[in-house]
Amino acid sequence: MLSTAELAQTPITPKDLEGDYNPKETAFVYDFEKSWAKFLKENPKFIPKGKREERMQELKEQVREVEMSKDSVELELQKQLTFLKRSRDALEDLFVNKLQEAVEKRREMHEELSKRLDTVAMADYLQNETLPWQNFLHQVELVSESKSESSSSSSSGQNSGLRRAKPSKRAMALTEQSSGDSSDVELRAYRIDHALLTTHIQMLHKDMERLEHTIASQEEAGKFLTEHNVWAILTKSNATKASTVTPSLATARTAKTSVSPS
């Protein structure tokens, strides 16, 4: 069974009409149907619609609306996806930059701490190196001081004539038990004195370097304590301990008083 639209678009032939038609009239009918079919094709809104066509048109409209809604949702989802990708890329870049900054800062802190540790280690090394020599020189000074009186009394009678430089007391003290005549002993004392002075100068230079490293490490320690407010924390801790101990002492004294005989 043909629909209303199909019936409207079905061409009519002279056979469908009642009566006899001459060739001219038949040609006219064919031309009219051809023109009518062309008109309906160019203007489909004039085609009459039945219930089935109307239902099909409704379904087409619904499909079109669904497709438009789907396209709109897809476009919105694509926008959100693009936004999320950009946000993710921005967060990744920010995280990478912060990570690089943290790594660089940690590397700088490590280098700074290594330098501080090297300073402390160098100060300790120099102290361990100079301390035995300082003790040796101190012991030599003690020995020379203990024997200075006897040396001065024995040489008091030999000060006449031309005055010349003499070895130090500590050099003479170290050569006291040496064998040989006085000129040999004195020459040996000069050499010992030169060696002691050279050693003393070197130890003083090393001690100065040690003090420089010690001062630098103490300054760094003071800076660390100041930056982290360690003194305030210690003061607060001591105050808390004092406030805790005072009631305990008072309780102990009260208990002792109550136990003592009347």
What range does the domain containing 16 cover? 1-48
Cα–Cα distance measured from residue 124 to residue 102, given in angstroms and rounded to the nearest whole number? 32
Tell whether 7 is covered by a domain.
yes
Q: What are the pLDDT digits (tens) for 50-86? A: 677 677 778 888 999 999 999 999 999 999 999 999 9
Domains contained in the chain, number? 1
In a domain, 161, yes or no: no
- Render pLDDT for 235-256 as a digit per residue (tens, 0 to 9): 877 777 666 655 555 565 555 5
| Alpha helices (H) along the chain | 4-9, 23-42, 51-146, 148-154, 169-174, 182-227, 230-259
Other beta carbons within 10 angstroms of residue 126's beta carbon come to 21
Pick 157 or 231 by higher pLDDT: 231
| Average pLDDT estimate for 201-223 | 85
Report yes or no on 57 lying in a domain: no
Is residue 172 a part of any domain in this protein?
Answer: no
pLDDT reported for residue 192: 85
Whether the model clears a pTM of 0.75, i.e. scores above it, the answer is no
Which of 3-7, 9-13, 19-23, 191-195 tops mean pLDDT?
Answer: 191-195
Q: Are 127 and 210 contacting, i.e. CB atoms less than 8 angstroms apart?
A: yes
Decide if 26 is inside a domain. yes
In a domain, 90, yes or no: no
Residue 35, in any domain of the structure:
yes
Asked whether residue 123 is domain-assigned, the answer is no
User: So what's the pLDDT on residue 259?
Assistant: 47
